[in-house]
Amino acid sequence: MYQYIARRLFLTIPVVLGVSIIVFAIIRMLPGDPARAMAGPQASPQYIESVRARYGLDQPIAVQYVTFMRRAAQGDFGISVFSRRPVITEISERFPRTLLLASISLVIATAVGVPAGIISATKRNSIFDNVSMVVALIGVAAPVFWLALMLQLLFAVHLSWFPSTGIGTPMHLVLPSVTLGAASAGLFARITRSSMLEVLREDYVTTARAKGLTENVVVYKHALKSAMIPVVTVMGLQFGILLGGAVLTETVFAWPGIGRLLVDSILRRDYPVVQATVMMLAFLFVLINLVVDILYAFLDPRIQYQGGGGE
């Protein structure tokens, strides 16, 4: 088991390296002179020259990459072109806020989606099933942007229950996390339902029922654990998406997280921040996948990792 984890961790290195090369190359392949773009339209040629030198843009790409990676390995991702603060400071200020938003969203999505999916599966074709699946479909399909604006209009403008934008109090979390969690909730509900339906048809469930166990015990004790395997996979992936994909939500609700930092930085052509943020998100995604794989082992005894069981 530990060997497996170690090997998987080791395998993330080429993935992260690959991502770093791609990101680095894409940014530098963009048309136009980044130094000029950074300096702005009214900058003097001397100033543009000084920007080029300051950010090492006068060096060959390979040299730039090696320099970047050497520094990155020491935790130094350079200086933001926009704020002139260390990139690592920018990211470490923003990341906890995105983490908080994504976590709360995931909790909301799980708390709503999974029970809805279970009830739908056990009461297949009931009114609850039909209604909740339609709602889930809307949740998955509704554009985040639209949902965000509707929630703002209803709960901030008309009802004045929650603040419309910004951070500060727990109240500020409600609208953005509901917005962000809605699609995941819908997804979880649908996955849970279909997975549960499949498991409920399994022989061992029939056996459990035949033993005379109550329906609740059958569903929650026997079927649920197996049914959760695909759900956990999706949750893991979804958490990665929530971390990196909160861009729209963060923008509409002026939530100062990593997604907004990324988009703002792209618009400002703040290449050092874009580079570091994308690489960090890629690394996190790889890490989350690893955690999901490991969780499997606990959920599904059929999955064995080399060197683990000794059978």
**What counts of helices (H) and strands (E) characterise the chain?**
14, 0
Residue 251 interacting with other proteins (CB under 8 A): yes
Residue 217 interacting with other proteins (CB under 8 A): no
Buried b (16+ CB within 10 A) or exposed e, 279-294: bbbbebbbebbbebbe
Q: For residue 251, give the 3-state DSSP assignment.
A: helix
**Residues 17, 26, 150, 254: which binds other proteins (CB under 8 A)?**
254
Residue 9 interacting with other proteins (CB under 8 A): no
d(CA 254, CA 242): 16
Footprint of other proteins on 98-117 (CB under 8 A): 108, 111-112, 115-116
**Residues 143, 166, 307, 308: which binds other proteins (CB under 8 A)?**
166
Residue 74 interacting with other proteins (CB under 8 A): no
Q: Provide the β-strand partners of residue 79.
A: 86
**Residues 52, 68, 121, 163: which binds other proteins (CB under 8 A)?**
163
Q: Which residue number, 100 or 295, has a Cβ lying nearer to other proteins?
A: 100
* Tokens standing for residue 153: 């209009």
Strands (E), 162-300: none
Q: Which residue number, 76 or 293, has a Cβ lying nearer to other proteins?
A: 76
Residue 140 interacting with other proteins (CB under 8 A): no
- Max Cα distance, the chain (Å): 85
Nearest of 112, 151, 182 to residue 253 by alpha carbon: 151
Nearest of 194, 182, 184, 221 to residue 129 by alpha carbon: 194
Stretch that binds other proteins, among 60-68, 148-156, 229-237, 296-304 (CB under 8 A): 148-156
Footprint of other proteins on 19-58 (CB under 8 A): 30-34, 36-37, 39-45, 47, 50, 54
Q: Which residue number, 162 or 288, has a Cβ lying nearer to other proteins?
A: 162
Residue 86 interacting with other proteins (CB under 8 A): no
Stretch that binds other proteins, among 10-18, 220-228, 260-268, 289-297 (CB under 8 A): 260-268
Q: Which residue number, 54 or 209, has a Cβ lying nearer to other proteins?
A: 54
Q: How many CB atoms lie within 10 A of CB 1?
A: 13
Q: Which residue number, 163 or 236, has a Cβ lying nearer to other proteins?
A: 163
Residue 174 interacting with other proteins (CB under 8 A): yes
Work out the burial of residue 2: count CB atoms within 10 Å of its CB; fewer than 13 is exposed, 13-18 middle, 19 or more buried.
exposed
For helices 87-122 and 271-299, angle between their N-to-C axes, nearest 10 degrees = 40
From residue 166, how far is each of 105, 136, 169, 255 by CA, in Å?
Answer: 17, 28, 9, 6
Residues that bind other proteins (CB under 8 A): 30-34, 36-37, 39-45, 47, 50, 54, 82-85, 90, 93-94, 97, 108, 111-112, 115-116, 119, 123, 126-128, 131-132, 135, 149, 152-153, 156-157, 160-171, 174, 178, 251-254, 256-257, 260-261, 264, 268-269
